[in-house]
Structure 1
Amino acid sequence: MTPQELDARIVRYGDLVPCKTAFIDAHTPGSDQKENFTIIGGGVSESPDQHVHIKDTPGFNIGAAGQPPKCRNSLHSHRTAEVFFVLKGRWRFFWGRWGTAGEVVLEEGDIFNIPTGIFRGFENIGTDYGMIMAILGGDDAGGGVIWAPQVIEDARDHGLVLAETGRLYDTKKGEALPDGVSPMPLLTDEELKTYPEPAAADVIPGFVARYWDLMALAAGEPARVIGPDAVLKDRPGFEVDFITRGSIPEDATTTDRHEVLMPVRGHWKLTVDGVATVLNPGDTCAVPPGSARSLAPAMTGEASLYRIRNTDDPAGATKAG
């Protein structure tokens, strides 16, 4: 691998290209300041304006959401896994048909494997611009977003119409649905009954892992975060490990699967096939199978990162309840 080839597999935090019109709530007050980022794979954006940094998918997608204080992402659901960890800020995640079934507050480094089949939303409750990083199951990220009916209705009142094809049309710009294309239908009352309303006590213990707990678990070896034998037991089509300076895998490990490295704290020296670089918090690096890879903290002090690897399990996630 040449230095140029390695650079092409790294998306730097400072190079992230935001999209402010990615989803149906882009004009809705309270959600109209959010920025969405598609880092690896096509993601679930509904806008042709969404920039994709690395198009090849390793069996899952990587994205991010950046939001100023008090900005929220509207209630939606996915057919496959949606996992978030907090890179910057303080975030409230809430769920249920109206967002009132339960909630949890996540701090920097915390991770949430949101159960499939429930409506979920999130908001930045910190005092500064915040960023959460996302892992979405499957190469096609589950075929898109399923919105709570009130989200579609609110969006229409503010000029955005979602077509049955999954593409957005902005009536404020004079756009209209093409001939023969209908608006996305609202979920019926019968369909809505199939979406669970789990309480926080049924979600938090099995779906949330705290940063400082993982720091303690990773004192001698990588902490298994998501997987059949992990803190959050699941088979969503990928597995997640948490690595600190005290649990670095042995040098020159040859990867047998796709591996994505996402630093949370500190600076990491990464060497792939003899080519060295430094990864910083917010960077995302996709290491291909068959590569000889080694990791080491580049500086003293706290250092941690999440490692995501594909598995042979079908894309999905555990349901709550």
Structure 2
Amino acid sequence: MRGVQLLFLLQLCTSCVLTLAVPRVPVPKRREVYGNGRIFDITHRVNAKMPTWGSRDGLGQFVWLVASMKNGSLVNASEMKLSAHTGTHIDAPSHNYEEYYEAGFDIDTLDLEVLNDNTQRILRLQSKITKSKTMIQRHYFLLLLLFTLLHSITASSSNAAYPTVDDDCSCGASSTDDDLLLFPERNEVYGNGRIIDISHRYVSDMPSWNSEEGIGMFIRLFESLKNGSIANFSGFKLSVHSGTHVDAPGHVYDHYYDAGFDVDTLDLEVLNGNKLRTQCCWSSTVIVPRESNITAEVMKSLEIPKGVRRVLFRTLNTDRKLMFKKEFDTSYVGFLEDGAKWLVENTDIKFVGEFSTP
């Protein structure tokens, strides 16, 4: 069984799923505010002139096109190389503390419930702060506790995530200090199910397109606290099509690539939303019949109601644990052409993806 996996971001040009005819040159749009202020994008777009630690020349070239549709490739595929300390990012506990580095505390160990909250709760917090000086002091104390928590959260990681810079470093091993034993833990569910992490952690054995060896060594430590640096700094190099990710329009359509449609042009209001219905915008997870690609017949049988805009499909790929096998498996389940056509013509879906967990 061989499926052609089509993960479309249909909100950009629904008709482009069915035809490559382009009536006019598309113009990329980049916004910071979505949904009348429901979503604010506070990230900085990574670019060659972006400042980088210890450099006067900026980031420089950080992305290369390694496969091109113009040269006969099925898709446009890029590779990036840059410091993990670039642009808008979160520092891992191991960035500043050697004992956390040795215990393997990367950003995958942070508590997503601390990092995520809703606007209403933030507004209530702001209202309380303005009412009472005592409340200000209490919330200031709370912020200090949260800051401390960010540096003490535990989650699991492997040795491969942090390769050593010298033979004496035992990265990934728990500290043997009598007063401090660090045991990383990794959670997928936070806040009694309020947040579910469906992303896959990057490891060297993660499958990579058309590779039998996985993504291989993708991250290296180039500055170390042990060697006198003020912090641990890592750099990574890998395909932008690795692990849990969102495909840019330019990945599968060459005219979008030429026009500069990267992931920064995607609509965050389409990509983000509650699982429950909010203003006729639904998110849903559906289970695809086993031993079947996603065909028109399968799509019809799923009976996805009108109004649903985001769908995660749970397929046989999950049962087979394909994301946990190093060798790329070409027999994965995916959309067939008639299934994609039926989706466009009969549903309100603007975003599709695959829900794949252990």
TM-score by length of 1: 0.29
**Which one has the bigger strand percentage?**
1
1 or 2 for the larger relative contact order (CA 8 Å, sep ≥6)?
Answer: 2
From the two aligned structures, give the one with the greater helix fraction. Answer: 2
TM-score by length of 2: 0.27
